[in-house]
Amino acid sequence: MTDATARRRGRPRRTESADTRDRILNAAREEFSERGYEKTSVRAIAKAAGVDSALVHHYYGTKEQVFEAAVEVAFAPALKVRDVVLEGPLDDVGERMTRVIFGLWENPVTRAPLLAIVRSAVNTEAAAAVFRRLVSAQLMRRIAGELDAPDAELRAELAAAQLVGVAMMRYVIKIEPVASVDVEQIITRVAPVVQGHLTNP
């Protein structure tokens, strides 16, 4: 066995670690996007990344943990909503949040991983659990922390439900006329509802 073969099957040298982790994560995102959670295996991820399956487990653990790492990276642009809450007064936070979320869905680059996440979460409980943890811990609780209301967490979750529900109808299920209407019409109608969830008495 050559040194190169030994390194490929075992742990990489320290200088190779970052590159290997990135390749695994990129391969995982592509596999989950194309095949969904159920049909993706650690072996398939390893093959796509050009590494041994043992390295996938070494860096990320189980398939669920690989999925969580891939989702967190893919979902990162959506976490900008946290910053939107802090960018201006709460009087117009509904429009700001709605515009950011639908901006992500309208962009083909960010839409693809979002679709993969939502489809996996809808079809698989393990994927749904990862999605819930990510949304709850990193997004909704932080938004709720900025609301001066005793039921802040409920308000934030209802606002999220409004946005996710419309996004599902437009981009996943593609129900007409929601699927094809100009996105500005969507924002105009949905933003006041989101605002109401967040700030109305």
Question: What is the tens place of the pLDDT at every residue in 6-49?
Answer: 444 545 455 467 888 989 988 998 888 788 888 899 999 999 99
Least confident of 50-54, 71-75, 119-123, 175-179: 71-75
SS (H, E, C) the chain: CCHHHHHHHCCCCHHHHHHHHHHHHHHHHHHHHHHHHHHCCHHHHHHHHCCCHHHHHHHHCCHHHHHHHHHHHHHHHHHHHHHHHHHCCHHHHHHHHHHHHHHHHHCHHHHHHHHHHHHHHHHCHHHHHHHHHHHHHHHHHHHHCCCCCCCHHHHHHHHHHHHHHHHHHHHHCCCCCCCCCCHHHHHHHHHHHHHHHHHCC
Q: Say how far apart CA 30 and CA 51 lie, in whole Å.
A: 15
pLDDT at 16: 60
Chain-centre distance for alpha carbon 144:
19
Q: What is the mean pLDDT of the chain?
A: 84
> What's the pLDDT tens digit per position in 81-97?
777 766 788 888 899 88
The reported pTM is 0.74
Flag whether pLDDT at 3 surpasses 60. Answer: no
